[in-house]
Copies of this chain bind each other. A is one copy, B any other.
Amino acid sequence: MIVYAVGIGPGDTEHMTPQAKQVIADCDVVVGYTMYLNLIPELLHGKEVVGTGMRSELSRCETALAKARSGKKVAVISSGDAGIYGMAALLLELADNDSQIEIEVVPGITAAIAAASLIGAPLSNDFAVISLSDLLTPWATIEKRLEAAGLGDFVVCLYNPKSRARKDYLNWACDLLLKYKPPQTWCGHVRNALRANHEYEILMLRDLPEAEIDMLTTVIIGNADTRRIGRRLVTSRGYRIDGKEAGEDG
């Protein structure tokens, strides 16, 4: 039996891969966080749909495996990519001792890519992806990674930058990064990237703590090679344009 861990991308079918769409079409049961299921109503007609709340990932995946054991074809959906802060890892761990069940991961467009495509090309060179949620990862580990990302002059993409319960985490992250990056470092934040009504703002690192950011927002913090071009951000890869090094601010 196969359980599919499917990344649906940002949510609209425009950015969902044909494989993801086909796998969902072929399944009897679709399991997921209710908010994500609500993004794809047109794919759920005639399906058994199991929606669960936030933070119920464990029971969600156990339900999916139980449905598969009862002979049903099951897809567990994640927004973005199923392997990046998605359900693929937990499904693989839970299925570890069950030789009957195989997990297939169906990739999708993750929020970093969706957000970057709107902002311009901020991820065109080396970058780090860090979640600011400390539900599963200790804050000390997150701090260590922020410091390391600053030290390495990585462009940094932050997932889960803020929630009602974690109002100050983004500020703390900015404080840490400001030890390594100048306050004028270009940043962008994108809400509902590539969903209907997405919106983004380009701003400097010093202004990021005051920005309107919530848990549907992805934040991208540039590096020394990131500059603003009009309403977009570009991290120069270093091609020589007109005989001068690209990426200089001027």
Measured between beta carbons, the chain B residues less than 8 angstroms from A230 are: 96
* A82 nearest CB across to chain B (Å): 8
B83 touches A117 (CB 8 A): yes
A241-B93 contact given A18-B13, A107-B114, CB 8 Å threshold: yes
B118, B141, B239: which contacts A58 (Cβ < 8 A)? B239
Interface residues of A in 114-143 (CB under 8 A from B): 114, 116-118, 120-131, 136-137, 141-142
A89 touches B129 (CB 8 A): no
Instruction: Answer whether residue A145 sits at the interface, using C-beta atoms and an 8 A cutoff.
Output: yes
Measured between beta carbons, the chain B residues less than 8 angstroms from A13 are: 18
B126 touches A130 (CB 8 A): yes
Of A30-38, A42-50, A149-157, A210-218, the stretch lying at the interface with chain B is: A149-157
Smallest CB gap from A20: residue in B? B15
A92 touches B232 (CB 8 A): yes
Measured between beta carbons, the chain B residues less than 8 angstroms from A96 are: 229-230
Docked CA distance A118–B103 (Å): 10
Docked CA distance A241–B149 (Å): 30
Measured between beta carbons, the chain B residues less than 8 angstroms from A154 are: 128, 145, 148
Measured between beta carbons, the chain B residues less than 8 angstroms from A126 are: 128-131, 137, 142, 145
Instruction: List residues of A whose CB falls within 8 A of some B CB.
Output: 5, 7, 9, 13-19, 57-58, 81-86, 88-90, 92-94, 96, 103, 105-110, 113-114, 116-118, 120-131, 136-137, 141-142, 144-145, 147-149, 151-154, 194, 229-230, 232, 234-241, 246-247
Measured between beta carbons, the chain B residues less than 8 angstroms from A144 are: 151-153
Docked CA distance A92–B96 (Å): 46
A113 touches B117 (CB 8 A): no
Docked CA distance A118–B19 (Å): 14
Q: A15-B18, A89-B235 are in contact. List 8 more A-B contacts (CB 8 A).
A: A17-B109, A18-B18, A88-B117, A89-B120, A108-B109, A126-B142, A128-B152, A147-B151
Smallest CB gap from A99: residue in B? B230
A15 touches B9 (CB 8 A): no
B124 touches A127 (CB 8 A): no
B124 touches A239 (CB 8 A): no
A16-B17 contact given A85-B124, A124-B89, A238-B137, CB 8 Å threshold: yes
Of A82, A88, A108, A118, most B-chain CB atoms within 10 Å: A88
Docked CA distance A18–B116 (Å): 19
